[in-house]
A and B are shown apart, each in its own frame.
Chain A
Amino acid sequence: MADVTASDAALRRFLHGLPGVDAVGLHARAAALGTRSIKTTAKAFAIDLAISMIDLTTLEGADSPGKVRALCAKGAHPDPLDRSAPKVAAICVYPDMVATAKDALRAAGAPHIPVASVATAFPAGRAALPVKLADTRDAVAAGADEIDMVIDRGAFLTGRYLQVSEEIRQVKEACRREDGSAAHLKVIFETGELQTYDNVRRASWLAMLAGADFIKTSTGKVAVNATPPVTLLMLEAVRDFRASVGVQVGVKPAGGIRTTKDAVKYLVMVNETAGEDWLSPDWFRFGASSLLNDLLMQRQKLGTGRYSGPDYVTVD
């Protein structure tokens, strides 16, 4: 596999040699996997698992230290009335908020919750490579445990695959810390801008070959975000990648997942496509903010038998 990234031509030959995606079949499969009925104990398991997989996210221009601290407190104790509720997987913020988030998590008694930071001129990714690398190093230096980078969609769509691959490789390099450890790298494709399912499959393989630890659907900043078919396609890609290269890569759908029902459908898809190995926060994440409240309300319903309401969860 190493030789496919040797040259632009070799990489293009490999990516365009991947089998085309049967869009109708993909939609049908995703829809079929969404029809499973998950109830009672299985539902309770799914809800807790989904909570523990959430990258609790705030990526707004209006983010303030106070908002980030509130988010961290919520991530550490999602349901203040029920301490058995699991913690979230990570807190996801802009680079300048990483230090605030780190402090806030320590203060909330959950210093082991990782802080993820978007970098590389998120969400457009339209900046010179040195700027992107500096952005990444800055976030890592501030203590980020995970970096969510965006690919250069312009370069990808015009067929400059090696450039995209090279960027991912260099950003991964920039994720290294002085002590030799490295921040986890998630690569965002912005699938809503990639036009075709074939492109999503190509982007998945390209990113995995370049060393991504996670592949992520979207920034949450465009009209079309994570959809079940796109996530299914990426789950197939990581499954096939592990089968052929032996390296396991995680998947993170982000944006637009707001209800427990949706989240459970994604979990069914993970289990049925990639397999149980991916059914853990180490290998599957939800990029979401409002999803957590719905999960908590469902969790309260399961616990008490009464329907809960927005008055019983935080206003974010």
Chain B
Amino acid sequence: MSELTEPTGKTGPPASPASPASPSSPSAPGSPASRADEVPGSPGGGAAARLSVLKTYKLFVGGKFPRSESGRVYEVSDSTGAWLANAPRSSRKDARDAVVAARKAFPGWSGATAYNRGQILYRIAEMLEGRREQFTTEVAAAEGLDRAGAAAQVDAAIDRWVWYAGWSDKIAQVVGGANPVAGPYFNLSSPEPTGVVAVLAPGDSSFLGLVSVIAPVIVTGNTAVVVAAERTPLPALSLGEVLATSDLPGGVVNLLSGGTAEIAAPLAAHQDVNAIDLAGAATDETLAKELETAAADNLKRVLRPSATTDWTTGPGTERMLAFLETKTVWHPIGI
């Protein structure tokens, strides 16, 4: 049993009397409701240790925190194999619902000003800053890093939100602009968001990698359906709580956990998904090929990164450009 969900200030707050019939977390049916450090007897004893509060990890879809429609969960363990928590095992119907939510959010998010989107991404960084401890603990448990290593990952992830936030009102100037044409016309190209993007989060970097694939998709006005890394979904599911409190409109980012292959297949074939980022399938040649084939059916944009992406280095604009379409308009001069 890991210490992940143990309250940190164990000796601090005065404990409420421990009831023998304390509720256990519904998503952790196999876990004991009370820990061994509970003091037996003496209900009015005052200094009794608190019961641990186990966290029910849930999906983040349309700004809400539902369980999987299927009711399924799966066990998530840390790098040593010890049980951490149960995460929802999403079904294809959860994927379908997430796409509906993302599609619904698209007009509002893509229509928001770039300045506004940048502010919201920056707000996400601000919110994360206040939760560094929590994410450091979760990343350390998920990836088997020491605290310093995990903290470095979280800091880098926060910095990445800030970095992408800055791009929101600059990307159009870099990749768009006035084109010289041989005629009395203004010819202007401007980048526009592709639409609903399915994102398979990378399996080798549970938080920095996750942020590095979400931020470039939404900063330009796309909405995202994100499949968290199958083995390490907890930082992703916790990120949902940050997104929900960051002025990000519901449905712009939807987070699903579960079997990557199971959820990715209906997303890749979904006719209402406009693009797919295969970062999470980069190491699985067969799966990536299957998803690419399914995605070809409605001409989705497919981003298939190499299997060895170093998420700590500066990302460049590649991931933003992958999910932008160029619109060019001709306008007569002098009218």
When the two chains form their complex, are residues B269 and A306 in contact, meaning their CB atoms are under 8 A apart?
yes
Task: Pick out which of these stretches binds chain B: A101-109, A250-258, A275-283, A307-315.
Answer: A307-315
Q: State whether B269 touches A307 (Cβ < 8 A).
A: yes
Asked whether any CB of chain A lies closer than 8 Å to the CB of B143, the reply is no
Is A305 interfacial (CB-CB < 8 Å)?
A: yes
- A257-316 residues with Cβ-Cβ distance < 8 A to B are 300, 305-312
Interface presence of B306 (CB below 8 A): no
Measured in the bound complex, the distance between the Cα atoms of B263 and A307 in whole Å is 13
**A309→B270 contact, CB < 8 A:** yes
**Chain A residues, CB < 8 A from B273:** 309
Among B99, B103, B269, B271, find the residue whose CB has the most chain A CB atoms closer than 10 A: B271
A305 partner residues in chain B, CB cutoff 8 A: 269
B103 touches A309 (CB 8 A): yes
Q: Is the CB of B269 within 8 A of A310?
A: no
Interface residues contributed by chain A, number (CB under 8 Å): 9
Chain A residues lying within 8 Å of B270, measured Cβ to Cβ, are: 306-307, 309
A15 CA to B121 CA in the complex, in Å?
63
- A309 and B99 alpha carbons, distance in the complex (Å): 9
- Docked pose: A87 CA to B269 CA in angstroms: 28
- A306 CB contacts on chain B under 8 angstroms: 266, 269-271, 294, 297
B126 within 8 Å of A (CB atoms): no
Q: How far is the CA of A308 from the CA of B103 in the complex (A)?
A: 12
Docked complex Cα distance between A136 and B99 (Å) = 46
Given A306-B297, A307-B96, A307-B99, verify A312-B269 contact (CB < 8 Å): no
A307 touches B266 (CB 8 A): yes
Residue of A nearest to B269 (CB): A306
For the complex, give the distance between the alpha carbons of A23 and B99 in Å.
Answer: 37
Structural contact, B269 and A309, CB atoms closer than 8 A: no
B272 near A: Cβ within 8 Å? Answer: yes
Residues of A within 8 A of B272 (CB): 307-311
Contact assessment for B271 and A308 in the assembled complex, using a CB-CB cutoff below 8 Å: yes
Does more than half of chain B's interface fall in helix, strand or loop, or is it mixed? helix
From 97 to 137 in chain B, residues with beta carbon under 8 angstroms from any chain A beta carbon are 99, 103
| Cα–Cα, bound, A311→B273 (Å) | 10
CA distance A300 to B270 in the complex (A): 11
Task: For A308, give the chain B residue with the smallest CB separation.
Answer: B271
Q: Which residues of A contact B266 (CB under 8 A)?
A: 306-307
B268 closest partner in A (C-beta): A306
Closest approach, in angstroms, between the C-beta of B110 and any C-beta of chain A? 15
Q: Give residues of chain A (124-144) contacting chain B, Cβ–Cβ below 8 Å.
A: none
Q: Cα distance A166–B112 when bound, in Å? A: 57
A310 close to B96 (CB less than 8 A): no
Tell me the bound Cα distance from A311 to B270 in angstroms. 12
A300 to B269, alpha carbons, bound, how many Å?
Answer: 13
Q: Tell me the smallest distance from the CB of A308 to a CB of chain B, in Å.
A: 5
| Bound Cα distance from A204 to B210, whole angstroms | 59
A309 vs B271: C-alpha distance when bound (angstroms): 6
Q: Looking at the assembled complex, report how far the CB atom of B91 sits from the nearest CB atom of chain A, in whole angstroms.
A: 13
Chain B residue nearest in CB terms to A307: B270
Closest chain A residue to B270, Cβ basis: A307
Q: How far is the CA of A310 from the CA of B107 in the complex (A)?
A: 14
Select the residue from A300, A305, A306, A310 with max chain B CB neighbours within 10 A.
A306
B-facing residues in A79-98 (Cβ within 8 Å): none
Most chain A CB neighbours (cut-off 10 Å) among B96, B103, B269, B272? B272
B263-296 CB contact bits vs A (8 Å, 1 = yes)? Answer: 0001001111100000000000000000000100
Query: What string of 1s and 0s marks CB contacts (under 8 Å) between B74-100 and chain A?
Result: 000000000000000000000010010
Considering only CB atoms, which chain A residue lies closest to B95 in the complex? A307
The complex places the Cα of A213 from the Cα of B269 at a distance, in Å, of 46
**For A300, what are the chain B residues with a Cβ–Cβ distance below 8 Å?**
271
Distance, CA A14 to CA B241, complexed state (A): 60
Q: Which chain A positions have C-beta within 8 A of B269?
A: 305-307
Min CB distance, A293 to chain B, in Å? 12
A300-B294 Cα distance, complex, nearest whole Å: 16
- Contact partners of B96 in chain A: CB under 8 A: 307
Shortest CB–CB separation between residue A209 and chain B, in angstroms? 45
Give Cα A311 to B299, complex, Å. 13
- With a cutoff of 8 Å between Cβ atoms, the chain B residues found around residue A310 in the complex are 103, 272
B62 CB, min distance to chain A CBs, angstroms: 16
A305 to B265 Cα, complex, angstroms: 11
Specify which chain B residues have a CB less than 8 angstroms from the CB of A311 in the assembled complex. Answer: 271-272
Q: Which residue of B lies closest to A305 (CB)?
A: B269
- Name the residue on A nearest B96 (C-beta): A307
Q: Closest CB-CB distance, B298 to chain A, in whole Å?
A: 8
For residue A35, give the distance in angstroms from its CB to the closest CB of chain B: 15
Alpha-carbon gap, A305 to B103, bound state (A): 20
Q: Once the chains are docked, how many angstroms separate the CA of A307 from the CA of B270?
A: 5
Compute how far the CA of A305 lies from the CA of B270 in the bound complex, rounded to whole angstroms: 9
Which residues of B sit under 8 angstroms from A309, Cβ to Cβ?
A: 99, 103, 270-273
Complex CA distance for A311 and B300, rounded to whole angstroms: 13
1/0 contact string of B229-269 vs chain A (CB within 8 Å): 00000000000000000000000000000000000001001
Instruction: Give 28 pairs: A residue, B residue, CB < 8 Å, sorted on A.
Output: A300-B271, A305-B269, A306-B266, A306-B269, A306-B270, A306-B271, A306-B294, A306-B297, A307-B96, A307-B99, A307-B266, A307-B269, A307-B270, A307-B271, A307-B272, A308-B271, A308-B272, A309-B99, A309-B103, A309-B270, A309-B271, A309-B272, A309-B273, A310-B103, A310-B272, A311-B271, A311-B272, A312-B271
Using a CB–CB cutoff of 8 Å, the interface residues on chain B facing chain A are 96, 99, 103, 266, 269-273, 294, 297
Task: Give me the interface of A with B, judged by CB distance under 8 Å.
Answer: 300, 305-312
Counting from the closest, the 5 A-B pairs by CB-CB distance are A309-B272, A306-B269, A307-B270, A309-B271, A308-B271
Q: A306-B269, A306-B271 are in contact. List 17 more A-B contacts (CB 8 A).
A: A300-B271, A305-B269, A306-B294, A306-B297, A307-B99, A307-B269, A307-B271, A307-B272, A309-B99, A309-B103, A309-B270, A309-B271, A310-B103, A310-B272, A311-B271, A311-B272, A312-B271
